[in-house]
Structure 1
Amino acid sequence: MRAVRVLSALGTTLLALGLAAGPVAADSSPSPSASDGSDTSAPTQAGTSFRTATELQQGQQATASGSTGDYLYWSFPADTGQRPTVKATVKLPQTHGAETWQLDVFDGLRRRQSCQYGASSRAAEQGTNSVELACVMRTVRGWAEPWANDPLPGTYYVRLTVVDMGAADLGQPVNAEIQVDSKDIGGPSAVDGSLGKPLVPGIAVKSEAQGDDSKTAVLSSFGSRDGWSSGWWSDRWVWTGIGAVLAALAGIGGYALTRGHGRPPTV
């Protein structure tokens, strides 16, 4: 019975340490968020191409005005262990025909990323006031094979446009709202290996610190203040270690309970 009490106390202690280690492991992997950027208000316009995409931090709700037929582009950062969710709402004019709007997400290499679930393409019937789109991406991985299309840490682009409409609706004014949030998945999706550099491509804009005569393209300003978290560490190492210790204690406890007490009587 004493061995059982000792094992129970050790198991309770290790479980408490594991629960406390979860937030610590999460804090050791900084990820970009709305607070990592600037204190300025959310964007009120969208770009018209990949190179002019408007930067959007996670948690911000951006708005933009455009015309039916325009391509609206935004870009946002996503780090290892995050599962981004992109939501967009298009407010349509009072009179319009049947239209189909589509939301596409591309990574830093401009590869289209598939959605786990969500209506990334939706039709708006005649007279509909608005249409809502959503795309829940796959979890961003720290490393992948060169031939794979897995999402990697870096910049992601959002493209919103109409893909099917009548000729009479071309050029009508529309308003769009977009927001990007993410859920930290952590250890369950962690992989061994790390990405050398995040997929943050250069953009053809001038830095505020540079003069007007500079023509050097600068990197996007995305990323957390402490850097990108791609690396070998994840919270799954904590739970793996706790599981190994518990297995060893269970083996010791089983041996202590099943072994004989004292020497057998001699005949």
Structure 2
Amino acid sequence: MRIATVTGAALLALGLAAGPAAADSSPSPAAGSPAPSSAGTSFRTATEIEQGQRATADASAGDYLYWSFPADAGQRPTVRATVKLPDTHASQTWQVDVYDGLRRRQACQYGAQTRTAAAGTSSVELACVLRTVRAWSEPWANDPLPGTYYVRLTALDLPAADLGLPVGAEVRADAKDMGGAAAVDGSLSEPLVPGIAVTSRQDAADDDSGDSAVLSAIEPEDGWSSGWWSDRWVWTGIGGVLAALAGIGGYALTRGSGRPRGVPPGA
């Protein structure tokens, strides 16, 4: 009976701990917030989008289109892009690139980052799944770190006849929480958000000269964690509880009836 109680308590504890770890960290866009309908033409003018928000833009073939979104420690971002092409066009190759807050191009773990649309194809879909964002990294490493991420969408080596043709672009950035398995010791003092130390949005609004610019003012829904919390804390606590339960169960199994050896029952 005691063993069954110990086992049931352990399974319940494991279930409670595993629940939050499996959750997707992509927040839902705030109700009523308008979806962006344009794209920037450089890193500096990139259109800001939230995780889980669908952004669209009308452009011309040959343009460079830029968006930016926040990604925090422990998240694995995924960027998806769809390009709607005109009815008549030659073969076109499109590519989506993702850069971090230091404008370092980040490699895709997997996904169709570059695709070629045959002549007459109505659309082309691209995807890039990044590595998990780390809370801290060596200065020489190219690991993704917390902060702003930039999405660049463009066509490669367009035929002269297709330059300037109207196209439609759709971009969405999501992120999956990878849990304590991706946690590392250490954290950044500040996320890599370009322009955050230059001026605030309010300062820019109060500046009549028009010279100030906020390069990025977006952040995750719950703020920047910088890696201070992960579900490793939960698993550590559960490990301690299980160790205590195992000790109690072992004692219950080995203590016996308490009678000296050789003394018959009832003596």
TM bin, normalised by shorter chain, reads 0.7 to 0.9
Work out which of the residue numbers 136, 142, 145 in structure 2 matches 1:149: 142
Give the SS at the match of 2:206: coil
Partners of 1:86 and 1:134 within 8 A in 2: yes
Q: 1:86 aligns with which of 79, 91, 94?
A: 79
Tell whether the 8 Å contact from 1:32 to 1:78 is kept in structure 2 after alignment. no
Aligned to 1:177: 170
Query: Paired residue for 1:228?
Result: 224
Q: 1:212 to 1:252 in 2, by over 3 A?
A: same
| Deviates further, 225-234 or 99-108 | 225-234
* Aligned position for 2:260: 263
* 8 A Cα contact 1:32 1:77, kept in partner: no
The letter for the 1-side match of 2:261 is: P
Correspondence 1:82-121 to 2 at 5 A: 82-121=75-114
Please state how far the C-alpha of 1:52 moved relative to its aligned partner.
Answer: 0.9
**Mapped partners of 2:35, 2:18: distance in 1:** 36
Match of 1:47 in 2: 40
- Give the letter aligned to residue 4 of structure 1: I
Q: How many residues align?
A: 258
Structure 1 outlier segments of 4+, above 6 Å: 203-206
Question: Aligned pair in 2 of structure 1 residues 131, 19: CA closer, same or farther (>3 Å)?
Answer: closer
Give the partner amino acid of 1:50. F
> Which residue of structure 2 lines up, in the alignment, with residue 129 of structure 1?
122
CA RMSD of aligned residues (A): 2.9
Identity %: 65
CA distance in 2, matches of 1:12, 1:205: 51
Question: How many angstroms does 1:63 deviate by?
Answer: 1.1
The corresponding residue for 1:237 is 233
CA distance in structure 2 between the aligned counterparts of 1:10 and 1:40, rounded to whole angstroms:
44
DSSP 3-state at the match of 1:240: helix
1:249 matched to 2:245? The reply is yes
Residue aligned with 1:34, SS: coil
Against the structure 1 CA distance between its residues 83 and 33, is the aligned structure 2 distance closer, same or farther, given a 3 Å change threshold?
farther
Question: Which whole-Å CA distance do the structure 1 matches of 2:84 and 2:32 have between them?
Answer: 27
Q: TM-score, normalised by structure 1?
A: 0.85
After superposing the two structures, state which structure 1 stretch, 249-258 or 93-102, moved more: 249-258
- Which one is further off, 181-190 or 131-140? 181-190
Secondary structure at the aligned position of 1:218 is classed as coil
Question: Which structure 1 residue ranges, 5 or more long, are not aligned?
Answer: none
Q: Is the 8 A contact 1:33 1:224 kept in 2?
A: no
Preserved contact between residue 47 and residue 68 of structure 2 (Cα < 8 Å): yes
The SS at the match of 1:102 is: strand
Residue in 1 that maps onto 2:154: 161
Once residues 245 and 233 of structure 1 are traced to their aligned partners in structure 2, the CA distance between those partners, rounded to angstroms, is: 20
CA distance in 1, matches of 2:27, 2:3: 46
- Once the two structures are TM-superposed, the CA of residue 18 in structure 1 deviates from its matched residue by 3.2
Gaps of 5+ in 2: none
Query: Contact (CA 8 Å) 1:31, 1:78: kept in 2 or not?
Result: no
Deviation at 1:131, TM superposition (A): 0.5
